[in-house]
Amino acid sequence: MSDATAPKRTKVDTTQKNDKVDWRKKKDELKDAKKQRKADKLVKKFEKQKQTEADEKEQQVQHSQPSRGCAYTVSIALPGSVLDNAQSAELRTYLAGQIARACVVFAVDEIIVFDEDGEDVKSVEGDYNGVGKKGNACVQLARILQYLECPQYLRKFFFPKHPDLQYAGLLNPLDIPHHMRISEPSEYREGIVLDRPTKPGKGSLINCGMWKEVQIDKKLQTGLRVTVHINATQKKEGRLIKGVVVPPHLPRSEGGFYWGYNVRLASCLSISWWSSAASRVWRPVWTETRNLDVTDPSLLFDLYLNTCPSQGSRTIRTE
């Protein structure tokens, strides 16, 4: 039959032909992307190495420069019985605040509170129950002095509620250089070690009273008060601030900053001398103590200065 139907031709799907992947081109694109990643990695490594070398160079320059710090420390010794002259708890607290304020004005590094009765007191654990009652004035004086020296953002960690500190909120602030504001830039800061988990090989996290926490170079026990040197060449966009733990005397001995005072208790005046560092310069406040047989201060001190040779009163009060 002539009218037999011819076989139909299959239509070619042009869309499928156009969607065909050019694997050679794709492979070249992958190679280019891999090369770009390697180049970016090398650039990042080079920048990190360059930053490390800059930090080391800056540290060498700092070490080569003459120290701005002070080569000596100043300590004073005063009796805890000075609080016995106050007539109320408010006045005792205010008197301790006056002593602390005077010490920081003259940049005293250590305050030694000694007991005229010769009692061996080694800590600030205890209460002072008032005039005419059994109590230890040295303990209360030392506790208030320590409270005022501590930066405000750390007091809640180290000083729980205590009767000796009932009126401490009425005292004038000392405004020592390490009592910093939250956004104040500084080379050194005081902080407390936080109980926070960190990655393996990373140091502890420190609360230094800033918007961000500081990560130090080593693991330390939780709750310790530490002095941290802040790295000034780090990126500000980071989640944490990098720092290094340094000795507490470093801001004074190398940086030239007055960094507050230490408080120490002694059972008598003589022990406060012999247990101190040999390089210390003494400016003692002389009072006639009951546990010393000597009434002439020139027999005890190499240099004695009587500022009131013709005093009209029998006694000069410590405050």
* φ/ψ (deg, to 5) at 152: -60, -40
Q: Residue 128: count other Cβ atoms within 10 Å of its Cβ.
A: 23
Is residue 248 a contact partner of residue 273, using CB atoms and an 8 Å limit? no
pLDDT at residue number 7: 54
Q: Which is it for the CA torsion 81, 87, 89, 94, positive or negative?
A: negative
Residue 53 in tokens: 């070398």
pLDDT at residue number 11: 52
Is residue 116 a contact partner of residue 291, using CB atoms and an 8 Å limit? yes
Strands (E) across 84-167 are located at: 110-114
pTM higher than 0.75 for the full model? no
Spell out the per-residue pLDDT of the chain, length 319, in tens.
445 555 555 555 554 555 566 777 888 888 888 888 888 888 888 888 888 887 777 666 655 555 566 777 888 888 888 888 788 888 889 999 999 999 999 989 999 988 877 665 556 555 555 444 445 788 889 999 999 999 999 999 999 888 888 888 888 888 898 898 888 888 899 999 998 888 888 888 989 888 888 888 888 888 999 999 887 777 777 788 888 899 888 888 888 888 899 998 888 776 666 555 433 444 444 444 445 556 676 676 777 777 787 788 877 776 6
Burial of 225 (0-12, 13-18, 19+ CB in 10 A): middle
For the sheet containing 110-114, what is the strand order? 262-266, 110-114, 73-79, 280-282
Burial of 17 (0-12, 13-18, 19+ CB in 10 A): exposed
Backbone dihedral region for residue 226 (phi beyond 0: left; psi -120 to 50: alpha; all else: beta): beta
pLDDT at residue number 21: 67
Q: 142-179 burial by CB neighbour count: b if 16+ within 10 A, else e?
A: bbbbbbbbbbebbeeeebeeeebbebbeebeebebebb
pLDDT at residue number 146: 93
Helix axes 89-105, 137-149, angle to 10 degrees: 50
Is residue 233 a contact partner of residue 51, using CB atoms and an 8 Å limit? yes
pLDDT at residue number 282: 43
* φ/ψ (deg, to 5) at 263: -115, 130
pLDDT at residue number 261: 92
pLDDT at residue number 38: 87
Residue 224 in tokens: 């310790």
The secondary structure of 9-74, three-state, reads: CCCCCHHHHHCCCCHHHHHHHHHHHHHHHHHHHHHHHHHHHHHHHHHHHHHHHHHHCCCCCCCCEE
Residue 106 in tokens: 């003259």
Q: Identify which of 223, 218, 219 has the alpha carbon closest to the alpha carbon of residue 207.
A: 223
CA distance 150 to 115: 24
